[in-house]
């Protein structure tokens, strides 16, 4: 009974460790070691195997003989050699490698790492890749029994759920990163403001705007316009968004940049979402502030890359996007009118447009800055 109680307590701790590993940088290491100890195994691992013409193998493993070199050794074998049987999801089985008569390089590998029998469960099949939970015992150890197999199946079910949660968290982070990078590329600062007055800076451009006092600032009472004369209307727009019954309120406005430059374009809109704490919908306010111009001097190489413009054509494009007339651009670039017109004709062909107005529309759309890298200058 003492052994059983210790095993039950170990199982509870193991399950807790599985879910604690969901958000770890190196997942599953601790629970795999706990499972190995609980089963008196010499190796425990999660194998992710992609079969077919593009066969590949990835291992998370724990045990005295586990090392990066050992994992690389195992990953060299075809997944069918590592698991020569087909297991449906949720099923588990014990393999006796001695009875199966493994020979050659694989047989030598089993002897080198002291693997005589293995209990394996199919955790899940994800995008064509089979995920299995594997525990191995050596040549001088007792084989796995039915109770061991039942434990592995129970633990495997928790691994399946934890892996599902981890995939969802990872996808959410990837989507969030892409959205953040898109806003940074566009030079748009984004802020999320709740009814409680708390606020979150959603991207690097927002941090840059706050640090440099560009249009907005933060205080203990929330996000405010730098120019006091703008703040009353700005706070009114935020309150209207927060108290929007249908979650659709939106307001466009201009804020003084704070350094004498052109005023900043701002959008304040309502955003309805599930509450973090309560089982209900609530409304927050999203604030978007365009810090960067649509196209600026830093985009010369970007325009050359996107449209195959020459350096001069890219400079001409930036002038057009800024709203300058062709004569002013010619003076700025110190080129003749006929030369500028020749550049324009070349640009029409490269950008697949027929008129200057179409080229300007293309350059001033939000698509061009989306080609910026995330380290694009915010100055």
Give the domain ranges of the chain. 2-172, 187-290, 297-371
Q: Which sign does the torsion angle of CA 123, 118, 138, 144 carry?
A: positive
Domain 2-172 belongs in CATH node 3.40.50.11610: no
Half-sphere exposure of residue 165: CA atoms within 13 angstroms, side-chain side: 14
More confident residue, 325 or 4: 325
Domain 2-172 identical in fold to domain 187-290: yes
The pLDDT of 287-292, averaged and rounded, is 92
Per-residue pLDDT reduced to its tens digit, 179-231: 999 999 888 999 999 988 889 999 999 999 999 999 999 988 899 999 999 99
More confident residue, 366 or 62: 62
Rounded Cα gap, residues 49 and 77, in angstroms: 11
Q: How far apart are the first and last CA of the chain?
A: 70
Spacing of C-alpha 108 from chain mean position: 41
CATH number of 297-371: 1.10.10
Beta strands in 214-352 (DSSP E): 216-219, 222-225, 250-255, 264-274, 281-290
Spacing of C-alpha 328 from chain mean position: 44
The pLDDT of 158-185, averaged and rounded, is 93
Is residue 1 predicted with pLDDT exceeding 50?
Answer: no
pLDDT of residue 375: 53
DSSP 220-257: TTEEEESSHHHHHHHHHHHHHHHT-SSS--EEEEEE--
Is residue 376 predicted with pLDDT exceeding 60?
Answer: no
Architecture of domain 187-290 in this structure: 2-Layer Sandwich (3.30)
pLDDT of residue 260: 66
Give the H or E element holding residue 121: strand 117-126
Per-residue pLDDT reduced to its tens digit, 18-72: 999 998 888 899 999 999 999 999 999 998 887 766 667 788 999 998 888 888 8
Per-residue pLDDT reduced to its tens digit, 338-350: 999 999 999 999 9
The pLDDT of 288-299, averaged and rounded, is 86
The pLDDT of 153-178, averaged and rounded, is 94
pLDDT of residue 6: 46
Going by pLDDT thresholds of 50, 70 and 90, the confidence category of residue 238 is very high
Q: How would you classify residue 187: left for phi > 0, otherwise alpha for psi between -120 and 50, otherwise beta?
A: left
């Amino acid at each position: 009974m003492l052994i059983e109680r210790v095993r039950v307590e170990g199982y509870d701790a193991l399950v807790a460790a599985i879910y604690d590993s969901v958000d770890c940088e190196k997942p599953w290491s601790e629970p795999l070691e706990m499972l190995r100890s609980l089963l008196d195994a010499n190796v425990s691992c999660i194998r992710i195997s992609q079969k077919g013409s593009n066969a590949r193998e990835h291992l998370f493993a724990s045990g005295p003989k586990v090392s990066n070199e050992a994992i690389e050794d195992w990953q060299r074998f075809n997944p069918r050699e590592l698991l020569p049987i087909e297991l449906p999801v949720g099923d588990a089985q014990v393999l006796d490698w001695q009875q199966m008569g493994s020979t050659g390089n694989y047989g030598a590998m089993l002897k080198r790492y002291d693997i005589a029998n293995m209990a394996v469960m199919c955790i899940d099949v994800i995008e064509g890749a089979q995920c299995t939970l594997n525990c191995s015992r050596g040549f001088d150890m007792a084989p796995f029994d039915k109770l061991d197999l039942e434990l592995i199946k129970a633990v495997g079910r928790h691994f399946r759920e934890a892996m599902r949660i981890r995939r969802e968290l990872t996808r959410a982070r990837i989507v969030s990163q892409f959205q953040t990078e898109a806003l940074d590329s566009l030079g748009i600062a984004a802020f999320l403001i709740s009814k409680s007055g708390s606020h979150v800076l959603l991207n690097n451009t927002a941090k840059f705007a706050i640090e440099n006092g560009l249009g907005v600032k933060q205080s203990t009472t929330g996000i405010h316009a730098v120019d006091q004369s703008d703040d009353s209307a700005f706070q009114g727009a935020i309150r209207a968004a927060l108290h929007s019954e249908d979650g659709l309120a939106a307001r466009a406005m201009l804020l003084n940049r704070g350094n004498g430059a052109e005023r900043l374009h701002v959008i304040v809109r309502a955003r309805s979402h599930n509450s973090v704490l309560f089982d209900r919908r609530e409304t927050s306010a999203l604030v978007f502030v365009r810090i960067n111009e649509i196209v600026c001097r830093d985009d010369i190489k970007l325009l050359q890359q996107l449209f195959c413009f020459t350096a001069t054509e890219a400079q001409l494009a930036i002038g057009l996007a800024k709203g300058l007339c062709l004569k002013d651009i010619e003076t700025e670039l110190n080129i003749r009118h006929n030369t500028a017109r020749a550049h324009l004709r070349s640009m029409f062909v490269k950008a697949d447009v027929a008129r200057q107005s179409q080229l300007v529309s293309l350059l001033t759309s939000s698509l061009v800055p989306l080609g910026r890298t995330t380290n694009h200058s915010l100055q």
